[in-house]
Amino acid sequence: MIDELFREWKASETIHPNSIRDTFNELKIGIRKLLKKHNATMEQVLNEASQSDSDGAESRSFEEMRRWLDRAIEGVTAYLTSSRKVGAKKAVEDIVQFLNQHYGEEISLHAVSERFHLNPAYLSRLFKNETGQTFNDYLSKIRLDAAVNLLRNDQLKVGDIAPMVGYENVNYFLKKFKDYYGCTPSEYRKSHLG
Class of domain 137-193: mainly alpha
Among the residue ranges 67-76, 83-92, 94-103, the one predicted with the least confidence is: 83-92
Say which residue, 161 or 4, is predicted with more confidence: 161
Q: Is the pTM of this model over 0.75?
A: no
The CATH number of the structural domain formed by 87-134 is: 1.10.10
pLDDT higher than threshold 90 for residue 24: no
Work out the number of other CB atoms within 10 angstroms of the CB of residue 151.
19
pLDDT higher than threshold 50 for residue 54: no
Q: What is the pLDDT of residue 172?
A: 97
Of 107, 74, 115, 66, nearest to 91 by C-alpha is 115
Cα separation, 33 vs 13, in Å, equals 32
Of 95, 88, 90, 133, nearest to 112 by C-alpha is 95
pLDDT higher than threshold 90 for residue 173: yes
Mean pLDDT score across all residues of the chain: 87
pLDDT higher than threshold 80 for residue 193: no
pLDDT tens digits, 101-154: 999 999 999 999 999 888 999 999 999 999 999 999 999 999 999 999 999 998
Q: Which helix (H) or strand (E) holds 141?
A: helix 135-151
Would you say the CATH fold of 137-193 matches that of 87-134?
Answer: yes
Q: Give the residue extent of every domain in the chain.
A: 2-83, 87-134, 137-193
Among the residue ranges 13-22, 82-91, 163-172, the one predicted with the least confidence is: 82-91
Average pLDDT over residues 14-27: 85
